[in-house]
Structure formats: C-alpha cells, structure tokens
Homo-oligomer: A and B are copies of this chain.
C-alpha cells in the first residue's frame, strides 16, 4: 500500500503505511513525476524568478509571467532592481483570501521609468496561442486549461490567467489602470475567481508560499495589519538573474504540452490505490497547477 498525497490517514498509520508498497496499483501522480524524463520539464528563466527574503528568514521564490502581463512584469523587474521592495512589508493577510505586500504609503524611492498607468493586462485574444483546454467543466468559464504551464480560462475568444492558490496579482486602486505593481498579492484559500479579468495576474509562487500563508491574519478590515509590529519586513527582493551564479536558484515546471502532464492530470482526476473508494473523474483547474521542482 502506498501513501498518496490525497490521503487523510490517522496519524498512527501514516508511518507504517508509507513503508509499504504494492506495485500492482496504477501509477500515482507522484509516480508519474518520478518516472518523467527531463524533456517533460521547462526550465524557468532566471530573468523570470524573484527571490524574496523575509526578516524571519523565510524565502519566497516567484515566477513572473512576462508573456501575459508584459508591462506589469517590466515594472516588477524594475522595482525589484531598484531595491523598492527591500524594506517593504507584508501589509495584509486575510484568511481564505489573499496575502498582500508592498509599502503602506506612496514612497519617494520608486524608480523613474515605472509605467504608473499600465494597460489593463487582464485578458488577451487567444488567437495564435497554444491553449490546451482540460476535458472537464469549469464553474466560471467556457473552458479552462493551460498555456505554457500557466492556468488559463477562456470564453473561446479571450484568455486570462486564473486566481488559483499561489498565483500573484497586482493590487490597484479603483480605476483599472492604477496598479503599477508596487503592491502585490498572492491567493491563499479557495480560488476567488471573481477577481479574474479584474486584476493583472503576473506570476506564481514556486517555493515558500507557506512563509506567507501561515502568518497571523490581520485584524483590520480586509485583513490589513494594524501596527508596524505586526508587519513582517521584506529584507530583500532580487531577480534570480542578478544573483551570483552559485546563489541562483534553478527551477523547473512540468510542461503542460507533454504526455507526462496529461498522465499526471489523469492520475489526479482518477485517484486509485487502496484508500480511495470513488475516483472524482474530474479536476478543477486550480487543482491542476503544474508541479514545480528544483532542476535535478
């Protein structure tokens, strides 16, 4: 008997159960990843990775999505390189919703050259893009699937990045073109899909999301923290590409255009093994975020 990520075992059993193995069972999602070849994985470019270090030692690494929100991503790279986020703070933690970080007030250290009114990069024409829809229904959109390993929903004409757990977006004021990327948020909790097409989704956390999601929830409206003492500092945010070669993280993401990904999806939709009495036979887009790993 194998243990599956999806099992809810009693604690006493979790240890012994994991030590056993019945090879006759169909491969689990993890088996499929373990057997995958290097060609099933995309390298995430160092120019798309930001390494954020928190005052308590936590490290959060996130991937940018320049193909979908190029102006916002250009702003983020510039803000990071100018040191804008060094000394910024975690502003807000709202349970089952978002974690937001940045500076509490407008700040004079913002670098020149930032696009203060970026276009609303919330959706884009699907034409010419390799959109690979899931074979299952989506509660919110005509189709849900992936483009280059990103979770995308579509009405058949346009596509948009979806507010799944660990995805990153740009906070804004009331007017849609007011989010210059000085404040970012990540989703934690059940995907708040009503935000789709209303904010620019610009990336995804690939490592250390728990350093944001396990924090005390803010007690002010919308989960904002009340006092400076509650706001954990961001010591630094760096483009991975700017780090010394030996310090650069190397991450890969499962390529959504490979048979390995299809097999992984299918195994997740149809859990088998001794624990499961009924397979779901479907998978929600936000339960189908392509796995990531450090480059072996």
Q: Which residues of A contact B (CB under 8 A)?
A: 1, 3, 5-14, 17-18, 91-93, 95-96, 98, 100, 102, 104-106, 120, 122, 136-140, 164-166, 169, 171-174, 176, 178-179, 182-183, 185, 188-199, 209-210, 213-217, 221-222, 224, 268-269, 271, 274-287
Contact = CB atoms under 8 A, between A and B. Distances in A.
Nearest to A105: B12
B104 A11 contact: yes
B193 A284 contact: yes
Contacts of A91: 11
A88 B182 CA distance: 44
Q: Which 5 A-B pairs have the closest CB atoms?
A: A139-B284, A197-B278, A194-B280, A210-B217, A95-B210
Contacts of A98: 8
Contacts of A214: 93, 95, 214-217
Contacts of A18: 221
B8 A199 contact: yes
Contacts of A102: 10-11
B190 A287 contact: yes
Contacts of A189: 165, 188-190
Given A102-B11, A199-B8, A174 B274 contact: yes
Nearest to A17: B174
A5 to B, nearest CB: 7
A190 B192 contact: no
A8 B195 contact: yes
Contacts of A104: 11-12
Contact of A197 (B216, B277, B283): B277
B3 A222 contact: yes
13 contacts: A8-B171, A9-B171, A10-B172, A11-B100, A17-B174, A18-B221, A96-B188, A137-B139, A190-B286, A191-B284, A193-B282, A194-B280, A197-B277
